Amino acid sequence: MRSPRAPYRTRERRKNCRIVFQKAPGNPLESRASSRGAALTRARSFWYKPRGKARKGKAMAGPGKSEDGTNPEGHIWRIAPTRRDLLGFLGWGAVLNSIGVGTLAFVRFMYPRVLFEPPSQFKIGRPTEYSPLSTSDKWIKALRLWVIRYDDRFIAVSAICTHLGCTPRYLATEDKYKCPCHGSGYRGFASGWKVNATNFEGPAPRPMERFKLGLADDGQILVDKGSTFRIEKAEFDKPGAYLPYA
């Protein structure tokens, strides 16, 4: 328990301490420590970079201009690095590096290596189950895609309207896709495997995307909804954007 006579307020306590820092008489900006000795007058720290007129010349170690005439040319001092500078550099380096590494580690921490998401690959039946030259909406409800069979290939078109994400409908009689939300229209089967599902009317900005197709081991068509292909990136020719099948 503190004695009732010992002051607990910081200001009162500080009055009882010795004064360790004194201002040099005359020049209010210079402390006594920095005016130590004529040769060290004008000495700057190791990190000092001359600005203004003095910038033209290099900061160098050497005698500095002082009142007692020992530096008539007025060279700017730059003392050699001291132990204090080294420790300061190491200290700041440690702090900044730990913050930097910590930030990077945190960002990596936010991306788990394993995700528990529903599988994106689905088997959608054998190629023979799809009639040649047809657009099948067998999987529209379950997987939100059309399976279209041309002469030489299959394509799987994603039934997501590129306007705002509704599910368009394929109108077989008019051979085009129409989105019920805002009337976006896309080309139908007759336009060919590359132009199929390309927007031609309404607010849709680009053609519908296609899913990656492959063949599973048991001969069924395997669609991978995790991989999409876009014509704007010239991806419709890439392997996987279609399944060659004669």
What residues make contact with another protein under the rule CB under 8 A?
107, 110-112, 115-118, 226
> How far is Cα of residue 165 from the mean position of the Cα atoms in its chain?
26
- Looking at the Cβ atoms of 29 and 115, the one nearer to another protein is 115
- Looking at the Cβ atoms of 21 and 111, the one nearer to another protein is 111
- Looking at the Cβ atoms of 11 and 53, the one nearer to another protein is 11
SS3 labels along 172-205: CCCCEEECCCCCCEEECHHHCCCCCCCEEECCCC
Give the integer Cα–Cα distance in Å for 210 and 145.
9
CB of 107 to another protein, least distance (A): 8
CB of 187 to another protein, least distance (A): 24
The structure tokens 């590096």 sit at: 97
Give the integer Cα–Cα distance in Å for 44 and 205.
64
- Looking at the Cβ atoms of 85 and 235, the one nearer to another protein is 235
Query: What does DSSP say about strands 243-244 and 221-229: parallel, antiparallel, or unpaired?
Result: unpaired
CB of 110 to another protein, least distance (A): 5
CB of 47 to another protein, least distance (A): 26
The structure tokens 């059309």 sit at: 146
For residue 68, what are its two tokens? 């007692």
CB of 115 to another protein, least distance (A): 4
Using only the alpha carbons of the chain, give its radius of gyration: 39
